A and B are shown apart, each in its own frame.
Chain A
């Protein structure tokens, strides 16, 4: 049986939020403490009976970032931690990294922990790349000898050989992030904790990061990985944990299942095929989307699940406030594991549906091809944009979305009975070609 690397029992973390009026904000000023102390003292003298009721309230509220979380992680496990913003993921990592203390509970760890909660922590812009490697390495816990030993590896991983002696403030953001990750990647801890560092950097960098983390994982070390990138989670992790509002909702080897639950599991379970603008969302000078929904040819909203052989239209109702020649709409279909299936846009064809649109209400729609998508759940995001200018809504970031559940109707044939593999299940006809039987026989004898 493999050893337990991390054992967490009934972990809870509480923050006190001050609902304080005025400019001061989060921290306490001595001046305020003294002033309120004096006020309280004065109150006690003037109104001795009323004083006790006041208490020490400055509008403090409790916020439980983590609430009774318990789990065990085995050595060598590669755990992905997912959840909405505010679910408690970063707090969990902070507590495990000993940056902040738990309010309740016990954590037991075996092995050296290294945390990468932010890339480039401790980097000073005035220092050169070389100096920052040492500084950052020391802050992360490496000794001078260790850093010297790994120096060349770090530099070649980051690909900054030429720029080692220039101050880091002159680095491009890509170089900066590569260097920062390179130092952290060579930490060699028994337990590696990584928090959403893939969010920075380009695709090439993300690939390199993932590759390095995979390598760490294969080396028998335990990896805890927080990310919003579901593809990365599925690629790297063999177990997954879902946090919601500070509670541990699921934790198992079923990474795909948990990712799906995160992406699609709304509290009410119903997958809406309609999105309505609650009033003032997406205000901008050009086009405001009012409604997005799936419907039939008559414009009637279709409820989920929908058969594959039905006509499905995606309709957008909106208001044009100022016509713009580059205004365009696009919908993006995502599979339930977060894979982007395809885009379709008003500017795909030369006849732009929005070309001559005038100020005022407008409705646009597009047909989702029949007998094309496979059975399953999909999310459709609406991107409203000015081509090559700006995004008004952006898929994957802040776009209005509807959900599509395809069930049944994939085929008329009785021989195709269960859901087949593949992202799409298009119904494409086959035909036989008429030709001489003799040709067929001779090729057959040739193979014998």
Chain B
């Protein structure tokens, strides 16, 4: 009996997939590289946009929540407080928006070439992550400006960055697959993002949430992530063990179910896209 390299059968297809992801690993890089290159080539301020946007958002939020609403900041310059919460949020929201649209946006490739489709929304998240790194550079600049020394806990930051990366991928896979199936999902996504910024501790700190709503509030995985960011960058609060633990659980669920749902619907992408 001859040995065959690949067997394609209706309803089956799992084994090869993860091997393929490894084989096509360079594609993660290439697709992200393409999106970034295109962004720079299309705008005059392309490179600057990556810097301007987080900076302006930070200013606005500081003014609104800090100067107008006079929310307590726990002894830290308000802009830093806002920015520390905004870093992960900005990353998550752009990652979610970009990855939801990524599959439909790459329809031409999906119908003509084979490669593991997981690469597409993931590379959209990678692009947002690069924006995140640039924003982080600005934050470092801010810290220098305010002569603020971060706590030792900042060494844990990569862990939290990884957690928010996973959250973004989990949610991104869900939304990307759903957008292919129900094309009007792309109208729901900006609404979710808008809503999210009010229920996540971006413009305020978690301490102001009333006790009786704390558990419900912490179901939002971004809460644990943003609080953890604040803890490691600012040191104003003790380690948010409860919300962080809940966050880890939610993110794991999100990522796991996201991958499963994506894999299940992936087979039909080329037919319905």
Contact = CB atoms under 8 A, between A and B. Distances in A.
B14 interface: no
A106 B9 contact: yes
Given A106-B8, A109-B8, A139 B38 contact: no
B13 A101 contact: yes
B21 interface: no
A138 B27 contact: yes
A96 B114 CA distance: 10
A124 B38 contact: yes
Given A103-B10, A138-B30, A143-B26, A117 B113 contact: yes
Contact of A122 (B8, B24, B33, B109): B109
6 contacts: A109-B8, A115-B114, A118-B112, A122-B113, A135-B34, A139-B115
A26 B8 contact: no
B8 A98 contact: yes
Given A100-B270, A121-B109, A144-B26, 10 more contacts: A27-B182, A29-B183, A30-B185, A99-B113, A101-B267, A108-B6, A109-B8, A121-B112, A127-B34, A141-B24
B183 A28 contact: yes
Contact of A108 (B7, B13, B108): B7
A111 B6 CA distance: 8
Contacts of A138: 26-27, 30
Interface residues of A, number: 49
A102 B8 contact: yes
B27 A139 contact: yes
Contacts, number: 118
Interface string A126-137: 110001001100
A99 B112 contact: yes
A139 B109 contact: yes
B7 A107 contact: yes
A124 B38 CA distance: 8
B207 interface: no
B181 interface: yes
B3 A110 contact: yes
A4 B26 CA distance: 31
A391 interface: no
A186 interface: no
A346 B270 CA distance: 49
A126 B34 CA distance: 10
A109 B113 contact: no
